[in-house]
Amino acid sequence: MSNKETNSEISGERLHIFRHITWIFLNAALIATMFTIFTPLGLTMGFGNGIEDIFSPPSAAEQGNQFFPTPTNRPRPLIGIVVGHWGRQDDFGAVCPDGLTELDVNKEVASRVQEALRSEGFDVDLLKENDERLTGYKAIALVSIHADSCVFYNLEATGFKVAAAMATARPDKANRLVSCVYSRYTEVTQLPYHAGVTDDMSSYHAFEEIHTDTAAVIIETGFLNLDRQILVQHPDVIADGIAKGILCYVRNEDASPPNESLP
């Protein structure tokens, strides 16, 4: 009996101590919570203002006022596309016997490139060959779209060419844009690269006027003779190759060409 009494006394005492400890812990937890709530933002690693945030996240407007600068309507990044031969008197570029002109093909491709890049969040200017805006033109990238001759020379007269602007303060940027367009255009269109970039391409007139920071390239999308089918019937594929090339540059993606090395 006495043993049992002693046992129950001891367990009663233990329960008492246990309650004390629990009470201390609960208080400690409560105080810690209070500290967390009132800790400034910087000390809570920017996760929020306190525990109440978890239950009632601040509205976007409140967030803007509290932690972030008020959002402003910043212009979207700009990309320029020159439509080869557009706006030129009596110069439509290459002309096929049936009346198809390089200008027709360039226009179709360029407007699709514009559409594709706009949907990715960019502002895209379609520029004429001698566009006044080209003087001092400042953009992330400028691509001039052309196509090659409709004359049948030989079976080698197929494929695309891409060249950087010679007159640039940043050849590294222009060369990266070339690599990106080369890599994505090859991948998307499966057209071969046609070696032999001409002086006409690298010292292309429109590039001499632009801002020297603007990365600029000229692309000959294919030959109107042997590549006519893809150029005319699948301008979406041609445009997709160019748009993806520009995006590769803008987004700093890996631009290693599929297999062959660059010219």
Q: Using an 8 Å Cβ cutoff, are 127 and 134 in contact?
A: yes
Binding site for Zn ion (CB under 5 A): 84, 93, 146
User: Nearest-CA neighbor of 242 among 210, 220, 261, 227?
Assistant: 220
Buried/exposed 110-147: b ≥16 CB within 10 Å, e otherwise: bbbbbebbeeeebebbbbbbebeebeebebbbbbbbbb
- Nearer residue to Zn ion within complex by CB, 141 or 145: 145
- 17: number of Cβ within 10 Å: 10
Smallest separation (angstroms) from Zn ion to the CB of 73: 37
In the complex, the smallest distance separating the C-beta of residue 65 from Zn ion, rounded to whole angstroms, is 53
User: Of 146 and 194, which CB lies nearer to Zn ion in the complex structure?
Assistant: 146
What's the closest the beta carbon of residue 148 comes to Zn ion, in angstroms? 8
Question: 146 or 244, CB closer to Zn ion?
Answer: 146
CB of 91 to Zn ion, least distance (A): 9
SS3 57: coil
Smallest gap, in angstroms, from Cβ of residue 89 to Zn ion? 15
CA–CA gap between residue 90 and residue 72 (Å, rounded): 45
Query: Taking the CB of residue 238, how many other CB atoms lie within 10 A of it?
Result: 29
CA-based radius of gyration for the chain = 33
84 vs 241, beta carbon nearer Zn ion: 84
Shortest Å distance, C-beta 102 to Zn ion = 5
Closest to Zn ion by CB, 150 vs 247, is 150
CB atoms < 10 A from the CB of 78, how many? 16
Q: Which is nearer to Zn ion, 82 or 180 (CB)?
A: 82
Q: Residue with the closest Cβ to Zn ion?
A: 146
